[in-house]
């Protein structure tokens, strides 16, 4: 008897498709994906495949990034209602007004942003390379960091740079408050606390390790510790527990859940491969402008 996973595999062969899943996607989606990782990493790997079709299991800005880096491929997103609240906290009019107010500013944009915002930026960054990106910039220039104030604050503490921080944030990470961390620490006194830099500064201060989703996964897998409190989206704890059964991982179950990332299901993957919809399409001119700050970041990373 064939399963839904078998159906997806059959459709992948028919369409010459590859499936990408973000680390926050439901674990059952990650298990059938060809490439799993953080948003930029999976986009880069997709560009290196010979697939004609890419199915992005994540949120809208991630699908846009894949389309920007893979202009020759058809990019599908199983649910195009899967937006990112943080990415929606800044629009092009607001950014244009801010750039007009601070004329000499260097705009550093977190990849968790729309293609239109990337296109107005000087350089992009990820949560794992944001410190290196800011350290590479001229010391005599003011930096506008968008859209995440919490990641921006963390970068400021690591670089000692005075930056203008946009007042955006990730609602999921914002809910991981210090008092909730202390409650879990009291319950699991031997557990290390690992946190994503999208968490609030007072939460980050409590962490034994601060890093991106991929960084957190790698740290927990390689650490000699056996218990961890996971200060990021709950799917990471589930993923780590499934892949490291000899260790214990404690999430924030009623707090750290991203509903938009959970909109992707196996059924929706089947439907989008059958119908070849919804497609993520970006105009050539916008894609080229958005590609520039991403390339600058990648060149810096590869230098």
Question: What value does the mean pLDDT of the chain take?
Answer: 95
The secondary structure element, H or E, covering residue 43 is: helix 39-47
How much is the pLDDT for 41?
84
Specify the 3-state DSSP secondary structure of 213: helix
Q: What is the mean pLDDT of each run of 10 residues along the chain (303 residues)?
A: 90 97 95 91 87 96 94 96 96 97 96 97 95 95 97 97 96 97 97 98 98 96 98 96 97 94 97 97 96 92 62
Does 87-169+288-302 carry CATH code 1.10.3720.10? no
Closest CA to 250 of 261, 262, 263, 234: 234
The CATH label, of 3.40.190.10, 3.40.50.10800, 3.20.20.70, 3.40.50.1260, for the domain at 176-250 is 3.40.50.10800
pLDDT at position 1 is 63
Q: Which CATH architecture has domain 4-82+261-285?
A: 3-Layer(aba) Sandwich (3.40)
The 3-class secondary structure across 94-140, one letter per residue, is HHHHHHHHCCCCEEEEECCCCHHHHHCCCEEECCCCHHHHHHCCCCC
Q: Convert the pLDDT of each residue in 1-42 to its tens digit.
A: 679 999 999 999 999 999 999 999 999 999 999 999 988 888
Say whether 176-250 and 4-82+261-285 share the same fold: yes
Domain boundaries, the chain: 4-82+261-285, 87-169+288-302, 176-250
- Other Cβ atoms closer than 10 A to 171: 14
Nearest to 149 by CA among 96, 94, 198, 109: 198
Share of the chain above pLDDT 90, in %: 92
16 is written with which tokens? 């010459």
How wide is the angle at C-alpha 168 spanned by C-alphas 167 and 174, nearest 5°?
A: 110
State the pLDDT at residue 254: 85
């Amino acid at each position: 008897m064939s399963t839904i996973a078998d159906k997806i595999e059959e459709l992948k062969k028919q369409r010459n498709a590859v499936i990408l899943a973000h680390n926050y996607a439901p674990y059952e989606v990650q298990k059938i994906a060809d490439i799993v990782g953080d948003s930029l990493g999976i986009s880069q790997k997709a560009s290196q495949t010979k697939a004609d079709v890419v199915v992005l299991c994540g949120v809208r800005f991630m699908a846009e990034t894949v389309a920007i880096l893979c202009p020759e491929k058809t990019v599908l997103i199983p649910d195009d209602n899967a937006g990112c609240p943080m990415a929606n906290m800044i629009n092009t009019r607001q950014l244009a007004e801010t750039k007009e107010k601070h004329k000499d500013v260097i705009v550093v944009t977190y990849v968790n942003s729309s293609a239109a915002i990337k296109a107005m930026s000087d350089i992009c960054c990820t949560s794992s390379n944001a410190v290196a990106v800011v350290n590479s910039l001229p010391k005599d220039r003011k930096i506008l960091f968008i859209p995440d104030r919490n990641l921006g604050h963390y970068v400021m503490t690591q670089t000692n740079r005075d930056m203008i921080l946009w007042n955006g944030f990730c609602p999921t990470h914002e809910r991981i408050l210090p008092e909730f961390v202390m409650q879990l620490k009291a319950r699991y006194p031997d557990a290390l606390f690992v946190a994503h830099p999208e968490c609030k500064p007072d939460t980050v201060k409590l962490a034994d390790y601060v890093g991106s989703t991929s960084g957190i996964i790698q740290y927990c897998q390689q650490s000699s510790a056996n218990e961890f409190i996971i200060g990021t989206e709950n799917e990471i704890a589930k993923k780590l527990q499934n892949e490291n059964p000899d260790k214990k991982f404690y999430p924030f179950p009623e707090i750290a859940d991203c509903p938009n990332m959970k909109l992707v299901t196996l059924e929706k993957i089947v439907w989008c491969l059958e119908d070849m919809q919804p497609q993520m399409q970006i105009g050539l001119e916008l894609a080229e402008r958005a590609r520039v700050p991403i390339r600058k970041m990648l060149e810096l990373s590869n230098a």
